[in-house]
Structures are given as C-alpha cells and as structure tokens.
C-alpha cells in the first residue's frame, strides 16, 4: 500500500507518518526532512534549497522532483508514504511519470483537513528535536526537561520556518500551489479527506480506516 499524505503545513503529516512507520512498517518519504538533512550536511542540494525554505517558499519543482526520483528508485518494494510531496500540480504530473517508469503505484491520496486557526496555533507552538526530529509543543506537549528531547537528549528548538512571518508565507504557498492538488487528486480518484483535528490517536484511527 503506497499513499500520499497531504495537507497544509501543521496538518500533522509528519506526526501521522511517524506512526505509520512505527506500526505498519511503511517508509516515510518526507521531502522537507530530506532537505533539512541536506542542509545539515551542507550539500549542494542543501545550499540550493535553504534560501527558499528559510523564506517559507517552495523549492523549485525541478530540484524536488530530481530528489524524489532518486528515492523512488531505491525503495526495493517497501510500502511508502509520500509526506510533503507532491506540493504542486507539475510535481504531481512528474510523479505519475516517475511511478510508471519504476513500476510503482499510489493506492490512496489522503488529505488531512485542518482549519487555518488550528494550523497557526500548532505551528507557532511547535518545537522540534535537532537530533532525532521528535516534535513537541509549547502548550500541549512539552519535553520533561525544558529544551531537551525526552527521546535522545538533544536540544529542542523552534524551526526557523515556524516563526510567525514565515508561517504566513508558507500558508500562502500552500493555498496558491498545493491546495489545487485536491481537485487534481479528486479527478484521478482514490482521494479521501480525513479530519486532522483532535487527538493524534483519533486522527490515526481515521486515517488507518482508509489504508
Ligand atoms: P515541510 O517539512 O514538509 O513543512 O517542508 C519544509 C519546507 O521544505 C517547505 O516550506 C518548502 O520550502 C520545502 N519543501 C518540502 N517539500 C517540498 C516540495 N514537495 N516542493 C517544494 N518545496 C518543498
């Protein structure tokens, strides 16, 4: 079972993907995580992507598509979750070509629907472990020791692009470029909208009902 998990920034794609990885043995392909790893390692791709990401803009399609293509080639038959890709209609069209040439298919495109005020509250309070990527929230999920990850002991910080002004740019990029994918996937079939509001476990149950 291969799925696309999509939704606005803060919809919970990363949180739900982590559960699917842990409980269903799926592989998470998060383009945001891959970019952040490239930035950490200061690769050429990381340098190319960084200025777009820091400003809250989308990285150009050709850069993202090339990166995903490399990952898809190396899957070896494992079920996967596309988390944060595709984010534009041209990316979705390129994905179709890449899937075909690698004899792969997407079984479902799942849309996590979350109202804008909830997205903003989630992103403003989100803190992320710089070591293992575990996510926290200043109000609803604090680490036991302030600023220190419960799981690996590394520092927990705010992502640069979770700062308020950048969040607004990211939401705008979502509305302009990513939201049109709802119509695209609806036309293709296999598109399901799931409410992304509420407790993590409840959202997971709603998602898993379609997987
Ligand atoms: P995310 O972790 O999914 O919120 O992504 C963080 C940032 O990485 C986004 O704001 C974009 O700048 C960039 N990014 C991730 N995935 C894509 C994509 N599919 N297309 C363009 N930019 C992306």
How confident is the model at residue 171, as a pLDDT? 97
Residue 77 clears pLDDT 90, i.e. is over it: no
Backbone conformation region of residue 50, classed left if phi is above 0, alpha if psi is from -120 to 50, else beta: alpha
Distance in angstroms (rounded) separating the CA atoms of residues 133 and 7:
19
159 given a catalytic annotation: yes
Tell me the CB-side half-sphere exposure of residue 151, using CA atoms within 13 A.
10
Round to whole Å and give the CA distance between 46 and 112: 28
Q: How far is the CA of 30 from the centre of ligand 1 (A)?
A: 9
31 lines ligand 1 (CB under 6 A): yes
pLDDT above 90 (res 9): yes
9 within ligand 1 shell (Cβ under 6 A): yes
Write down the pLDDT at residue 130: 92
Look up the CATH architecture of domain 3-114+178-208: 3-Layer(aba) Sandwich (3.40)
First-to-last C-alpha distance (Å) of the chain: 7
The C-alpha atoms of residue 9 and residue 12 are separated, in whole angstroms, by 8
CA distances 146 to 108, 141, 169, Å, are 39, 11, 29
User: What does the pLDDT look like over 156-209, one tens digit per residue?
Assistant: 999 999 999 999 999 999 999 999 999 999 999 989 999 999 999 999 999 999
| pLDDT at residue 166, rounded to an integer | 95
Determine the distance separating the centroid of ligand 1 and the alpha carbon of 59, expressed in angstroms: 7
**87 a catalytic residue:** yes
Q: Is the CB of 64 under 6 A from ligand 1?
A: yes
Looking at 36, 87, 122, 127, which residue is catalytic?
Answer: 87
Question: Residue ranges of the alpha helices (H) in 25-60?
Answer: 31-40, 44-55
Rounded Cα–Cα distance for residues 185 and 111 (Å): 10
* Helix, strand, or coil (residue 177): helix
For the CA of 56, the nearest atom of ligand 1:
10
Q: Where are the domains positioned within the chain? A: 3-114+178-208
SS3 state of residue 172: helix
Contact 191, 182 (CB under 8 A): yes
* Angle CA 185–190–193, to nearest 5: 75
Of 18, 30, 59, the residue with max ligand 1 atoms within 8 A of its CB, to mutate for a pocket test, comes to 59
């Amino acid at each position: 079972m291969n799925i696309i998990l999509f939704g606005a920034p803060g919809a919970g794609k990363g949180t739900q993907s982590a559960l699917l990885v842990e409980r269903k043995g799926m592989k998470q392909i998060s383009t945001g995580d891959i970019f952040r790893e490239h930035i950490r390692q200061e690769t050429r791709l990381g340098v190319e992507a960084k200025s777009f990401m820091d400003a809250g803009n989308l990285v150009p399609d050709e850069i993202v598509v090339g990166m995903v293509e490399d990952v898809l080639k190396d899957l070896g038959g494992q079920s996967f979750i596309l988390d944060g890709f595709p984010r534009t209609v041209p990316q979705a069209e390129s994905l179709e070509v890449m899937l075909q040439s690698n004899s792969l298919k997407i079984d479902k495109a799942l849309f996590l629907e979350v109202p804008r005020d909830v997205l903003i509250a989630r992103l403003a309070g989100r803190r992320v472990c710089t070591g293992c990527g575990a996510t926290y929230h200043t109000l609803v999920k604090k680490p036991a020791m302030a600023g220190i990850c419960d799981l690996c002991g590394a520092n927990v910080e705010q992502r640069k692009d979770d700062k308020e002004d950048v969040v607004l740019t990211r939401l705008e990029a979502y509305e302009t470029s990513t939201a049109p994918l709802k119509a695209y996937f609806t036309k293709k079939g296999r598109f399901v909208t799931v409410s992304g509001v509420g407790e993590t476990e409840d959202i997971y149950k709603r998602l898993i009902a379609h997987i």
